[in-house]
Amino acid sequence: MSEETKIICVACPKGCRLRINHQGETIVVSEQGCKRGEQYAVQELTDPRRMVATTVRIQSDLHPLLPVYTSAPIPKGKIQPLLIQLRKIKLKVPVKMGQVVRKDVLGTGIDVLASRDIN
């Protein structure tokens, strides 16, 4: 029996409503506005990923927290373990924007990067 899922595509600013019929590994996307919508729907059903932006502690008199982000979207199931791992970090100044804060988090090949300079 086929199952239907409805999602809103975020691959572009249009925000098309997608209707996805799937049964096992067969996925049929209807009402997509472009090819990116179909790719997004398949990705969302098979391996959903998200960018993560958060903060880590830093030893600084001016700023106690440093904003950080992932270099690429990570699997949704690894977001909570990532946040737990980042909560344990306490960096020392100086930090440069784009500096790798944590390399290859959770074996994903994705790095966590600093969002700003702190001297």
For 27-85, the pLDDT digits (tens) are 788 767 788 888 888 898 889 999 999 999 999 888 899 999 999 999 999 999 999 99
Flag whether pLDDT at 7 surpasses 80: yes
C-alpha–C-alpha distance, residues 103 and 93, integer Å = 18
Provide mean pLDDT across the span 96-114.
96
What is the model's pLDDT at position 98? Answer: 96
Q: Which fold has domain 53-114?
A: CPE0013-like fold (3.10.530)
Q: What is the pTM of this model?
A: 0.82
pLDDT at 109: 96
Each domain of the chain, given as residue ranges in start order, spans: 3-46, 53-114
